[in-house]
Amino acid sequence: MGEYLVMAAAYVLGAALLGVGLYLLRRSSFPDWWKGWMLWPLVHVTPQVTHLQGWAAVGIGVSILAISFTPIVPDLVGGVLVIAAMLAYLAGVVLFLYSTWLSRRVAR
């Protein structure tokens, strides 16, 4: 019973991150109702920074979804999903860090 609850939570979190990422990619800006503290690591939010943040959310969401499917697929497919999840997570983290750095650098 406990593992099903964890899997359901992973599906919801992964889908939510995927949805937020696609929303940011489509709109090129963060929603107006987001407060300043929700954008905490970002200083200057530009469309480029928003797109990178969107891709980071997509990468991490896909990573969570891929990991959550591993218990219900055959072992070989599960292994491929784990490798894909690790790569997607790494890409998401790198994009998040790069976009945060871009938002903090001084424009010349």
Question: For the segment 21-55, what is each residue's pLDDT rounded down to a tens digit?
Answer: 999 999 999 998 888 788 889 999 999 999 999 99
pLDDT tens, position by position, 67-104: 999 999 999 999 999 999 999 999 999 999 999 999 99
Domain boundaries, the chain: 2-104
Between CA 16 and CA 22, with CA 21 as vertex, the angle to 5 degrees is 100
Q: Which residue has the tokens 């871009």?
A: 102
- Count Cβ neighbours within 10 Å for each residue of 34-70 and write b for 16 or more, e otherwise: eeeeeeeebeeeeeebbbbbbbbbbbbbbbbbbbbbb
pTM of the model: 0.92
